[in-house]
Amino acid sequence: MRKLLLLGLMGLALGVALGLLIGWVLWPVQYTNTAPAQLRQDYRNDYILMVAAAYQVEGNPDAARERLARLDPEQPTRPLVELTETLIAQNGRPGDISMLIQLAEALGVTTPAMGSYLGGAP
C-alpha cells in the first residue's frame, strides 16, 4: 500500500513538472493583436505616449481621440489626463509630459496640474 501511494505521488509530481515545462518553456502562451484596453498598465502608458507622439506628427486631434477611445470608450481622455498628472507628480521626463499636455490641450482637457507645469493657467 505504501509503495502504491509513493508511486502515485511521484506520478503526480512528474505530471505537474511536465505540465509546467510544456506550458511555460516549450509552448508558452503568446498574445498577439491584443486590444489596448487589455494591456498591462505600463503598456497602456506606453500606448498613450505613442498616441501623443502620433499627434505630434499628424496634428489630428480626432485621430488621437479615436485611438484613446480604444482604452476607455466612454471617457477617452481620462487615461491621458491620469497619465499626465501621474508623470507631473513623479517628475517624469519633461519631453513626455510636454507631448501629453499638448495633446490634452488639443482635446480640451487641461487641468490645474498641467497649467502649473507649463507655467500658465489651464
26-58 pLDDT tens trace: 988 887 888 888 889 999 999 999 999 999 999
Res 83: pLDDT: 97
d(CA 108, CA 113): 14
Describe the crossing of helices 94-107 and 41-58 by its angle, rounded to 10 degrees.
70
Average pLDDT, the chain: 91
Q: Check if the beta carbon of residue 101 is closer than 8 Å to that of residue 114.
A: yes
